[in-house]
Structure 1
Amino acid sequence: MQVKINGIETRYVLSNEGGGPWLTFVHQLGGDLSVWDQLAGYFRDEYTVLRYDLRGHGKTAVSSDPFSIADLSRDLAELLDALGAPTTHLVGMSMGGMIAQQFALDHPSRVDTLTVADTTAGTPPEGRAIWDQRAAAARNEGMAPLVPATLSRWLTPDFQAAHPEAVEQIRDVLTHTLPEGYAMACEALRDFDLRGKLGTIRCPTLAVGGRHDTGTLPAATQAIADAIQGAQFELLDAAHLAPIEQSHRFAALLETFLGKPV
């Protein structure tokens, strides 16, 4: 389904067979809502599960102006308003995890629980150049040249060999991401930094890292848990898309954390 959010036509999928509490999943850079298909299936009988495409990703329109992670947090707030969701359990992976952290700071009363995976609380000065490089590559050469290296960071060789159909779907979404949408998101990630603010987050928080994640080292995700009082950190045997590569283990962790049976 489509709804206009902050002037941008936005695609979302709502699965509310259970009619339970809201559970919102936010995808990674170069992804779309389909990356959550399997996990949404686990939870839809007990939760009202929301997935959506970020600006310039999937079937959501490209922004006409540059944007920040704070703008993406506002998009989520307006989407929840449009759908009548007062609060939600929030799950974000990679860039989605950054948006989730920002949203928890911007709208603390609307977050029941916070789960972030394979993400960081800020881009250090020495890491900014790589986002400029990726943005320029997308604009100048398109997405195809970025795909092989990205998939090698996202998924371990063992997973790629064992699950070719899942890998092909992720590859297809990445390849067809609009270059300008990808580039603008890279620039938002370049400027993102909440490292001095995480201590004010008070909602129950779960942080999950991938043992083989070379793009966002597990220590960066663990640092989020360390900064939030009472937060839990778990390490999965996976690369950057740990909730996808270890979907059964992640679902079990999330089920326990949310405190309701799936």
Structure 2
Amino acid sequence: MQVNVNGIDTRYVLSNESGGPWLTFIHQLGGDLSIWDQLAGYFRNNYTVLRYDVRGHGQSAAPAAPCTVADLSNDLAALLDALGAAHTHVVGMSLGGAIAQQFALDHASRVDTLTLADTFAFTAPEARSIWDQRADAARRDGVASLMPASLERWLTPDFRRAHPEVVEQIRDVYVHTSVEGFALVCAALRDFDVRDRLSAIRAPTLAVAGRHDTGTPPAATQAISDAVRGARFELLDAAHLAPIEQSQRFAGLLETFLQPRV
């Protein structure tokens, strides 16, 4: 399905057979809603599951001008408005985790619970150039040029060997990501910084990290849980895409985390 959100044609998939509470999944940079296929199937019997392509990704249109993570958060708010959802449980991974944090701060009354995976609350000054380099490389050599290094960060070697079909799907989505969409979201992440606001988050929060994540070290995700009152932190035996690499373990954690609030 497609809907225009803040001037951006946005693809979404809604599984609402159960009529249960809303549960929204937000994907990583260079990904799309398909990364959540397995987990959406797991939760669809008890929740109204929403997945969507962030602007500039998948089948959502690329922005024509620079955007911020706050803009991406407002896209989610507008999408929920269009679908008639007053509030939702929110799950975000990597880029999706940044959007989820921003959403919990800017639209607090709409967040039932917050689950953050393999993400960070700010880009340190010394790391800002990395995002510029990625954006420049995408524009110069294509998004596909960044794929090999990304896969090495995202999934452990053992998982890549054991699950080539998952790797191929992730690779296919990545290399077909809009160059401008990818580059402009890189710039948004370069400028992202909500660390001084995290203590204002009141939604029950679960933070999950991959033990072998070299791109976003577990300490970055744990720092978020340390700053959010009452937050819980879990470490999984995975790399950057921990909810995918350890999908059963992640589903169990999320199910337990959500259950008392259903």
Q: Settle same-fold status: TM greater than 0.5.
A: yes
Displacement of 1:143 in angstroms is 1.2
> Which segments of structure 1 move beyond 4 Å, counting only runs of 4 or more?
none
Give 1:60's aligned residue: 60
- Name stretches of at least 5 consecutive residues in structure 2 with no aligned partner: none
Q: Structure 2 vs 1, CA of residues 46 and 261 (structure 1 numbering), >3 Å: closer, same or farther?
A: farther
Identity of aligned residues (%): 74
Q: Distance in 2 between matches of 1:150 and 1:255?
A: 29
Q: Distance in 1 between matches of 2:181 and 2:154?
A: 19
Superposed, which structure 2 residues align to 1:168-187 within 5 Å?
168-187=168-187
Give 1:129's aligned residue: 129
CA displacement 1:147-200 (0-9 Å, x = unmatched): 100000000000000000011000000011111110001000000000000000
Q: Distance in 2 between matches of 1:257 and 1:144?
A: 36
Q: Does 1:203 align with 2:203?
A: yes
Displacement of 1:260 in angstroms is 5.8
Amino acid at match of 2:191: D
Q: Distance in 2 between matches of 1:19 and 1:261?
A: 15
Count the aligned residue pairs. 262
Q: Distance in 1 between matches of 2:260 and 2:168?
A: 33
Q: Is the 8 A contact 1:112 1:204 kept in 2?
A: yes
SS at match of 2:195: coil
CA displacement 1:196-245 (0-9 Å, x = unmatched): 00000011000000000000000000000000000000000000000000
Backbone CA RMSD of aligned residues: 1.0
Give 2:190's aligned residue: 190
Q: Distance in 2 between matches of 1:149 and 1:260?
A: 40
Q: Does 1:116 align with 2:94?
A: no
Give 1:87's aligned residue: 87
Displacement of 1:145 in angstroms is 1.2
Superposed, which structure 2 residues align to 1:98-109 within 5 Å?
98-109=98-109
Q: Distance in 1 between matches of 2:115 and 2:253?
A: 10
Give 2:230's aligned residue: 230
Q: Distance in 1 between matches of 2:55 and 2:11?
A: 9
Q: Distance in 2 between matches of 1:5 and 1:260?
A: 32
